[in-house]
Amino acid sequence: MRVADLTEEQLLARIVPELPAGAATLLGPGDDAAVVAAADGRFVVTTDVLVEDRHFRRAWSSGEDVGRRAAVQNLADVAAMGAVPTSLVVTLVVPAELDVDWVVGLARGLAAECGPLGAGVVGGDLSGGPLVVVGVAAHGDLQGRAPVLRSGARTGDVVAHAGVLGWSAAGLASLSARAAHVPARFVEAYLRPRSPLAAGPDAARAGATAMMDVSDGLLKDAGRLARASGVRVDLDRGALAPAADALADVARGLDADPWAWVLGGGEDHGLLATFPAGTELPAPFRVIGRVIGRVVDGAVGGVVGRGEPAGDDEPAVTLDGEAPGVATGWDHFAGRPG
């Protein structure tokens, strides 16, 4: 059965029963708007859109895959503030010829990610259109804590990461190359990224000074955090080596550089955070570098001043004190590295 065979209300009748209600939902779908609890008098909100043939291909991704990915990339942004997700609303553009089961699968994918967290899918809007477009706005509860911003990193902090690095890029490269033997976990990481969502609020409780979702590649996003905080970040190649080692076999088969995936690959949706030195890090955060001051007289890594920013022509992120030699990340907007 195709979308064109149903009215909007008939299609909604297939979708809505799949959606999780959510523990904070005071009024769910069906009225002009939903009502969600915001216990501490504030809510966190973020939004992201997935466009067919730019962010996913229907030949590779099931409806459930796309639903999971649409949920996770938004939930990771909520977690990166140190918040617990409460609710999502979804806009969905679907072609007339799309299989209704694909749309129901998308709802199940949203539910699979939101339900276990107690987050509800509380509203949405459907439209026809020439290709699939999935827009999500996600909301979270800071539980009385201050939001953890990108701008709070201080000289002397440790830089830590939770999640995988380069897995999504390795999976995408494998699919693109039609590689014969690819460990399923990399392809799955691309199709259905996993984010360590609970680590976001855990990091906030542990005193994280800055945090962000790593969606555009470690170097690019670390650079954003560094510039927002007015500091520089030096990453430790040794601490990142296990991530590169995990990708070595796949990279060899594709004649690729695993370090390019670790440092530049997007859409892994891990969390990058800074903590005061000596903080006992919540799992699964691992130290991957430190926040340093500005380079003066070639004394790379020397701490001078308190978090002086990198100049416009200086790298905000170094690797063992040197400028990294790989592409800096993925430009979602342009759909290309950049």
192 forms part of the interface with its own copies (CB under 8 A): no
310 forms part of the interface with its own copies (CB under 8 A): no
Give the footprint of its own copies on residues 198-257 (CB under 8 A). 211-213, 228
Q: Measured between alpha carbons, how far is 131 from 134 in angstroms, rounded to an integer?
A: 10
144 forms part of the interface with its own copies (CB under 8 A): no
124 forms part of the interface with its own copies (CB under 8 A): yes
Cis peptide before 258 (omega within 30 of 0): no
Residue choice 68, 69, 108, 332 for contact with its own copies (CB under 8 A): 332
Least distance to its own copies from the beta carbon of 246, Å?
Answer: 26
Assess contact for 113 and 68: CB atoms under 8 A.
yes
Q: Which is nearer to its own copies, 42 or 306 (CB)?
A: 42
Q: Measured between alpha carbons, how far is 122 from 26 in angstroms, rounded to an integer?
A: 9
Known binding residue 129? Answer is no
Segment interacting with its own copies, rule: CB under 8 A, options 14-22, 59-67, 86-94, 317-325: 86-94
35 forms part of the interface with its own copies (CB under 8 A): yes
Q: Amino acid letter at 222?
A: A
Q: Measured between alpha carbons, how far is 139 from 45 in angstroms, rounded to an integer?
A: 4
Assess contact for 217 and 270: CB atoms under 8 A.
no
Residue choice 93, 164, 251, 263 for contact with its own copies (CB under 8 A): 93
Give the footprint of its own copies on residues 12-31 (CB under 8 A). 26-27, 30-31
130 forms part of the interface with its own copies (CB under 8 A): yes
**Considering only CA atoms, which of 87, 196, 85, 195 is closest in space to residue 142?**
85
Give the footprint of its own copies on residues 39-78 (CB under 8 A). 39-51, 54-55, 76-78
Residue choice 16, 21, 23, 37 for contact with its own copies (CB under 8 A): 37
Residues 6 or more apart in contact with residue 266 via CB below 8 angstroms: 168, 169, 215, 216, 217, 329, 330, 332
Assess contact for 120 and 92: CB atoms under 8 A.
no
Q: What are the φ and ψ backbone dihedral angles of 284, each rounded to 5 degrees?
A: -100, 30
Q: Which is nearer to its own copies, 91 or 237 (CB)?
A: 91
Residues 6 or more apart in contact with residue 234 via CB below 8 angstroms: 289, 290, 291, 292, 300, 301, 317, 318, 319, 320, 321
89 forms part of the interface with its own copies (CB under 8 A): yes
Least distance to its own copies from the beta carbon of 320, Å?
Answer: 27
The CA distances from residue 175 to 4, 61, 63, 101, 195, in Å, are: 31, 11, 18, 24, 21
Residue choice 16, 23, 112, 126 for contact with its own copies (CB under 8 A): 126
Known binding residue 261? Answer is no
Residue choice 101, 236, 308, 331 for contact with its own copies (CB under 8 A): 331
Per the annotation, binding residues for ATP are 124-125, 150, 215
Per the annotation, binding residues are 32, 46-48, 55, 77, 124-125, 150, 213, 215-216, 267, 330
